[in-house]
Amino acid sequence: MSDIIQLLPDSIANQIAAGEVVQRPASVVKELLENAIDAGARNITVIVKEGGKALIQVVDDGCGMSETDARLSFERHATSKIRQAEDLFALRTMGFRGEALASIAAVAQVEMQTRLHDQEVGTFIRVEGSEVKRQEPVACAAGTAISVKNLFYNIPARRNFLKSTAVEMRHITDEFTRVALANPQVAFKLYQNDLETFNLPAGKLSQRIVGLFGKAYREQMVKCNEETDLVSISGYAGRPDAAKKTRGEQFFFVNNRFIKSPYLHHAVLNAYEGLLAPDTHPFYVLFIEIDPARVDVNVHPTKTEVKFTNEREVYSVVRAAVRQALATHNIMPALDFELDVNFGSFKQAAAPATTEERAYTSFRESDKKRQSQNWETLFEGHEIRQSKINYDDAPAMPAGRQQRAITLPDSDQFFQVGGRYLAAPVMGGLLLIDQVRAHQRILYERFVAQLAHRQGNAQQCMFPVKVQLSPADHALVNDLREEIQALGFLFDDFGGHSLVITATPAGLPPCNEKELFEGLLEQFKHNKDELSLSEPDNLARAMAVRSAVRENQSLTREEAHRLAADLFACEMPNYAPDGSKTFFILDLKQINHYFS
Q: What is the CATH number of the domain that holds 306?
A: 3.30.230.10
Dihedral (Cα; 103, 107, 111, 115), 10-degree rounding: 0
Question: Could you tell me if 175 and 236 lie in one domain?
Answer: no
Question: Could you tell me if 233 and 186 lie in one domain?
Answer: no
Domain end position, chosen among 179, 203, 227: 203
With beta carbons less than 8 A apart as the criterion, state whether 423 and 430 touch: yes
Average pLDDT along the chain:
81
- Report yes or no on 591 lying in a domain: no
Domain end position, chosen among 371, 391, 424: 371
- C-alpha 150/C-alpha 117 separation (Å) is 30
What is the maximum span of the chain, computed from C-alpha positions, in angstroms?
100
- C-alpha 122/C-alpha 417 separation (Å) is 79
- Report yes or no on 386 lying in a domain: no
Share of the chain above pLDDT 90, in %: 40
Question: Could you tell me if 561 and 515 lie in one domain?
Answer: yes
Residue 166's pLDDT is 82
Find the angle CA(310)-CA(312)-CA(315) to the nearest 5 degrees. Answer: 110
- Report yes or no on 492 lying in a domain: yes
Question: Could you tell me if 428 and 571 lie in one domain?
Answer: yes
Question: Could you tell me if 433 and 543 lie in one domain?
Answer: yes
Strands in 421-426's sheet, in edge-to-edge order, are 415-417, 421-426, 429-434, 583-587
- Report yes or no on 401 lying in a domain: no
Q: What is the CATH number of the domain that holds 156?
A: 3.30.565.10
Tell me the pLDDT band of 593, cut-offs 50, 70 and 90. confident
Tell me the per-residue pLDDT of 304-353, one tens digit each, with 9 for 90 and over: 778 888 889 999 999 999 999 998 876 654 433 333 333 333 333 334 44
Residue 381's pLDDT is 35
Question: Could you tell me if 159 and 249 lie in one domain?
Answer: no
Rg (CA), the chain: 29
Residue 361's pLDDT is 41
- Report yes or no on 325 lying in a domain: yes
Q: For the chain, how many structural domains are there in total?
A: 3
Question: Could you tell me if 341 and 231 lie in one domain?
Answer: yes
Cα 383 to its chain centre, rounded Å, is 25
pLDDT, mean of residues 371-400: 39
> Could you tell me which residue, 376 or 486, shows the higher pLDDT?
486
Residue 186's pLDDT is 97
Residue 376: is its pLDDT beyond 60?
no
pLDDT, mean of residues 247-251: 88
Is the sign of the CA dihedral 58, 61, 63, 65 positive or negative? positive
Find the angle CA(341)-CA(342)-CA(347) to the nearest 5 degrees. Answer: 75
The DSSP symbol for 583 reads E
* Cut 0.85: pTM above it: no
Find the angle CA(442)-CA(448)-CA(453) to the nearest 5 degrees. Answer: 130
The DSSP symbol for 137 reads E
Question: Could you tell me if 212 and 335 lie in one domain?
Answer: yes
- C-alpha 546/C-alpha 508 separation (Å) is 11
- Report yes or no on 378 lying in a domain: no
With beta carbons less than 8 A apart as the criterion, state whether 458 and 508 touch: no
Question: Could you tell me if 220 and 313 lie in one domain?
Answer: yes
Domain end position, chosen among 343, 371, 399: 371
Which range has the worst mean pLDDT, 224-238, 266-280, 415-429, 495-509? 495-509
Tell me the per-residue pLDDT of 404-424, one tens digit each, with 9 for 90 and over: 456 788 888 999 998 899 999
Domain around 219: 207-371
- Report yes or no on 406 lying in a domain: no
Residue 506: is its pLDDT beyond 70?
yes
Question: Could you tell me if 195 and 212 lie in one domain?
Answer: no
Residue 349's pLDDT is 37
Q: What is the CATH number of the domain that holds 514?
A: 3.30.1370.100
- Report yes or no on 596 lying in a domain: no
Question: Could you tell me if 264 and 121 lie in one domain?
Answer: no
Question: Could you tell me if 191 and 224 lie in one domain?
Answer: no
Residue 149: is its pLDDT beyond 70?
yes
